[in-house]
């Protein structure tokens, strides 16, 4: 069973969601009947908005050189673009922080959540505007020399008709939507999280429909990478308490994830809570079973996994969770390309509010626990 999606509404709709330029949020993955003992992970000390977005699990900062009348301060070497992540200026959490400067929770929510770079979701099937909306994000990131993380989330039969249902009406329409998405990528480095749940949850589809979906996903990866050679495309690996590594790798092969023309690797733990250490082990096992080019890696959603998954398997805004490792493209772990905040902390799974809406009390609990 997959949890309710966090839905984001496009510009001009009645309700503002995660970002005015993104369309959607989604896919809280959970496998029924599986439990995991929570493991404590150290909560990172996160910098303020004025600090660089090039974060690591244990940030370190060099001392600023002293100035003197006879000596000019030496400018630091620029951080490589591949080490920076883009903080999109439009999100629900930023809207809340700006609107509540006097709230006692604001400093914690701002410094530990709002100031961190998170993914931008595109989930409404609006083919006429997808290219311009993607371009608005990628051009904003390029202007800052930073790397955006985009989530493509419009596959037909999304969430198998569950709470996150939606997407394109059919695969032909989806292929056209992907073409538009690719047209907005530009030529800079960008990370694309391609269709959460689309592979791990595909058992709900009949065999012929599953094969058609996988062919479309393989095409999507090829189109995205052909449009922007700097694009890094990652495929859905579920999470460590869902499918076995062997089963997941078999599904991923069928979806094109073992081909360098389509894929840079896999992603796991999107909108879930499993510990980073469990996901590292799982992702490496999936990659080993997947084969393909030696350069394939994995990215892990660490946005809410600081205390691991609840022992009872609860997936919907469970109590006692906290934010995990800060987003970074420099993990120090073999075959782990990035820790990303794909699900923005504080956006509800559907229990503390409507799915995808921002809950300041939930955000504060995640950031302060």
Domain count, the chain: 1
Question: In the prediction, which pLDDT does 284 show?
Answer: 98
Query: Is there a domain that residue 63 lies in?
Result: no
Higher pLDDT, 114 or 355: 114
Please check whether residue 154 is in contact with residue 167, taking contact to mean a CB–CB distance below 8 angstroms: yes
Query: Is there a domain that residue 210 lies in?
Result: yes
Separation CA 150–CA 85 (nearest Å): 11
- Distance spanning both ends of the chain, measured CA to CA: 28
Which of 115, 224, 117 has its CA nearest to residue 177?
Answer: 224
- In percent, how much of the chain has pLDDT > 90? 71
Looking at 65-69, 88-92, 263-267, 285-289, which range is the least confident one? 65-69
- Asked if pLDDT for residue 15 goes beyond 50, the answer is no
- Asked if pLDDT for residue 72 goes beyond 50, the answer is no
- Asked if pLDDT for residue 76 goes beyond 50, the answer is no
Higher pLDDT, 356 or 146: 146
Query: Is there a domain that residue 118 lies in?
Result: yes
Please check whether residue 30 is in contact with residue 164, taking contact to mean a CB–CB distance below 8 angstroms: no
- Asked if pLDDT for residue 140 goes beyond 80, the answer is yes
Separation CA 215–CA 306 (nearest Å): 36
Which of 223, 235, 142 has its CA nearest to residue 181?
Answer: 223
Please check whether residue 323 is in contact with residue 113, taking contact to mean a CB–CB distance below 8 angstroms: yes
- Asked if pLDDT for residue 51 goes beyond 90, the answer is no
β-bridge pairing 28-29 and 2-3: antiparallel
356 confidence band (pLDDT: 50, 70, 90): confident
Question: In the prediction, which pLDDT does 6 show?
Answer: 35
Which of 191, 115, 145, 107 has its CA nearest to residue 345?
Answer: 115
* pTM score above 0.85: no
pLDDT in tens, 228-251: 999 999 999 999 999 999 999 999
Which of 144, 142, 218 has its CA nearest to residue 178?
Answer: 218
Q: Identify the H or E element spanning 233.
A: strand 231-236
- Asked if pLDDT for residue 50 goes beyond 90, the answer is no
- Asked if pLDDT for residue 12 goes beyond 70, the answer is no
Separation CA 356–CA 303 (nearest Å): 15
Higher pLDDT, 2 or 220: 220
Please check whether residue 225 is in contact with residue 257, taking contact to mean a CB–CB distance below 8 angstroms: no
Question: In the prediction, which pLDDT does 63 show?
Answer: 28
Kindly list the catalytic residues.
159, 197, 349
Higher pLDDT, 273 or 60: 273
Query: Is there a domain that residue 67 lies in?
Result: no
Which of 19, 283, 294 has its CA nearest to residue 149?
Answer: 19
pLDDT in tens, 323-348: 999 999 999 999 999 999 999 999 99
As a whole number, the mean pLDDT across the chain is 82
pLDDT in tens, 187-215: 999 999 999 999 999 999 999 999 999 99
- Burial class of 78 by CB neighbour count within 10 A (0 to 12, 13 to 18, 19+): exposed
Place of tokens 């990659």: 287
Q: Which domain holds residue 303?
A: 2-44+80-368
- Beta bridge partners of residue 196, listed in sequence order: none
SS3 266: strand
261: CATH: 3.20.20.40
52 confidence band (pLDDT: 50, 70, 90): very low
SS3 47: coil
Place of tokens 């047209």: 183
SS3 61: coil
Question: In the prediction, which pLDDT does 230 show?
Answer: 98
Query: Is there a domain that residue 62 lies in?
Result: no
Query: Is there a domain that residue 227 lies in?
Result: yes
Query: Is there a domain that residue 73 lies in?
Result: no
Please check whether residue 127 is in contact with residue 179, taking contact to mean a CB–CB distance below 8 angstroms: no
Query: Is there a domain that residue 60 lies in?
Result: no
Question: In the prediction, which pLDDT does 83 show?
Answer: 53
């Amino acid at each position: 069973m997959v949890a309710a999606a966090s839905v984001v509404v496009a510009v001009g709709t009645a309700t503002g969601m995660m970002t005015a330029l993104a369309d959607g949020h989604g896919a809280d993955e959970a496998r029924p009947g599986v439990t995991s003992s929570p493991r404590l992970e150290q909560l990172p000390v996160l910098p303020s908005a004025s600090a660089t977005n090039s974060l690591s699990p244990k940030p370190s900062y060099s001392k600023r050189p002293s100035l003197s009348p006879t000596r000019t301060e030496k400018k630091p070497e620029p951080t490589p673009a591949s080490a920076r992540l883009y903080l999109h200026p439009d999100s629900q959490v930023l809207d809340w922080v700006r609107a509540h400067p006097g709230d006692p929770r604001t400093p914690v929510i701002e410094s530990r959540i709002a100031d961190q770079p998170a993914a931008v979701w595109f989930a409404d099937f609006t083919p006429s505007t997808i290219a311009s909306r993607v371009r608005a994000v990628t051009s904003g990131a390029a202007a800052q020399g930073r790397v955006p993380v985009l989530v493509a989330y419009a596959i037909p039969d999304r969430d198998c008709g569950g709470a996150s249902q939606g997407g394109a009406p059919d695969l032909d329409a989806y292929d056209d939507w992907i073409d538009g998405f690719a047209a907005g990528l530009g030529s800079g480095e960008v990370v694309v999280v391609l269709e959460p749940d689309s592979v791990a949850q595909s058992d709900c589809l009949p065999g012929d429909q599953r094969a058609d979906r996988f062919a479309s996903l393989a095409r999507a990866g090829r189109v995205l990478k052909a449009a922007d050679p700097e694009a890094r495309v990652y495929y859905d690996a579920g999470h460590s308490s869902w499918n076995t590594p062997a089963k997941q790798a078999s599904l991923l092969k069928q979806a094109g994830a073992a081909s360098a023309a389509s894929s840079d690797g896999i992603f796991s733990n999107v909108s879930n809570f499993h510990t980073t250490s469990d996901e590292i082990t799982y992702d490496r096992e999936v990659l080993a079973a997947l084969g393909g080019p030696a350069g394939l890696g994995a990215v892990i959603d660490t946005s809410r996994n600081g205390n691991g998954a609840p022992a009872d398997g609860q997936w919907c805004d469970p109590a006692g969770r906290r934010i995990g490792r800060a987003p970074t493209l420099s993990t120090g772990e073999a075959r782990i390309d990035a820790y990303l905040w794909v699900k923005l902390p504080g956006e509800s799974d559907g229990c503390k509010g409507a799915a995808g809406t921002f809950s300041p009390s939930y955000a504060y609990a995640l950031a302060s626990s």
